[in-house]
Structure 1
Amino acid sequence: MKTPPIVSASAWEDARQELLVQEKELTRARDAMAAARRRMPWFEVEKEYSFDTPHGRRSLLDLFEGRRQLIVYRAFFEPGVHGWPDHACPGCSFVTADQVGHVAHLNARNTTLTLASRAPLADIERLKARMGWRMPWVTILDDFDADFGVDEWHGTNAFIREGDRVFRTYFINERGDEALGSTFSYLDMTALGRQEHWEDSPEGYPQTSAYSWWKWHDSYTDTRPVEWWSTEAAEDEGEKVSVQAAAEHGDCCH
């Protein structure tokens, strides 16, 4: 193994500052991509789909759990998939299930996340208990996977609803799934984004001050639709840093 050169502290800091320029460019490019996703056209889902859930058979609309947005990751756990019946696909288990952050933070942004597989619900619940996974996970009962590009390979679909009308807004698969798992990575693929003031979003989209909605995951007591998160409520929380600084540095600890 040929290692990089060993340098002084000042030379190391110079090298880091040089690389930081590229990192900032990458961050801004990622923000621009998320902004473009928020301007993607929507496709209305008119076909009815059914899923087996711990609460009985439910529709795609039901999976929203009353929230505005829904993210569905197609996890391969079923007969014929490597690991069955003790495990789900190693890739799905590693890249998605093991990396999912606490879903309460997504719920606070009016967004529901669920995994979907073809395994019977009893097997899904058994697997979740074995692996310590707590995210929602349902059984596909029809052509949902084939219709949304995830019958032969994993992928993540984002949806939004207007009343009882459901729309597909974005789709990520292959290596794109590797970057998902954190709250912000999921929000960045949705039609509404993080819903913070610094974002470049279309006029009228719900937005609040950066950091104002963050809580410990066991402290959320109200995850009603995002319209409830008013500017006044955000201002009551008080901003410790400017919105621009929040977007640039992501630092709320000082």
Structure 2
Amino acid sequence: MTKTILEEAKMIQYGARLEGSQSGEMRAVDGWKRPRRGQRRPRSTRPGSGGDEGALLRELRDEEERKMRSKLMVDLRRERAGMRRPRAVECFACSGKGHMARYCPSRNTKDERNKRSSPYCYERPAEAVAKVIAVIRKEACVPERKRTRVSGSIGDLVDKFPEVHRGQENRIEFYQDERVVKRGQIVPESLRERTRKHLENLKRRGVIRQSWLKWRNLIRALEKLNGGVWVVSNLMALNDLVVKTRTSSPTFGTLCERRRARNGSW
């Protein structure tokens, strides 16, 4: 029984694979030797390379592998699509499903309940809105838009932060009829004329106006990249006049000692 060239090439190919897998290394079979790593095997010594017949065999084998791979990918996509389920929308307000928290029907009722239970300014007055309350009380009917909810009184915060409310922190000392002036940063001569024209332009447009206060705050002129002038306020004089309370942040040990002393446990 005679064998065709394709059958011989197939036997050579699978024979080389079988012998290489059994012995652990690929040996020469029918004139074929495995090349070293990084070395490209010659076309004439590749298994199944018998001219046009070998190329046809390789094309058929590649086509079968391509069809098998595409079939596996289609099956995998179908399996993944079957595992997916539409996720139910869950509401964080009422722990229900089918709607979001912003469209929850119980949300409006909670807001109305909070509005009814919260005190109004004319029921629980505070120092900050005392004048507004006096004006509202003169009217016979208080409009709904003039009612302001006040959660607490400012007087409750004076005991917690006495230094802030008594003016002992960040206070500015002024003297009567005294003009506070401090020497600022020296402006280059080439920038002074441009700064003056820029200020006159701002004054003419109504952006700035002349002030008659005793306080004189200096300005600082900077040159932009496009050639314009940028005028900013120089707050060095104000920072020097503000009297700040020097306090250091407590450490963790100090906080623990204060807590134990307050609770009465040592």
The TM-score by the shorter chain falls in which range? under 0.3
Scaled by the length of structure 2, the TM-score of the pair is 0.17
The structure with more strand, counted as a fraction of residues = 1
Q: Greater RCO between the two (CA within 8 Å, min separation 6)? A: 1
Scaled by the length of structure 1, the TM-score of the pair is 0.18
Larger CA Rg, structure 1 vs 2: 2
The structure with more helix, counted as a fraction of residues = 2
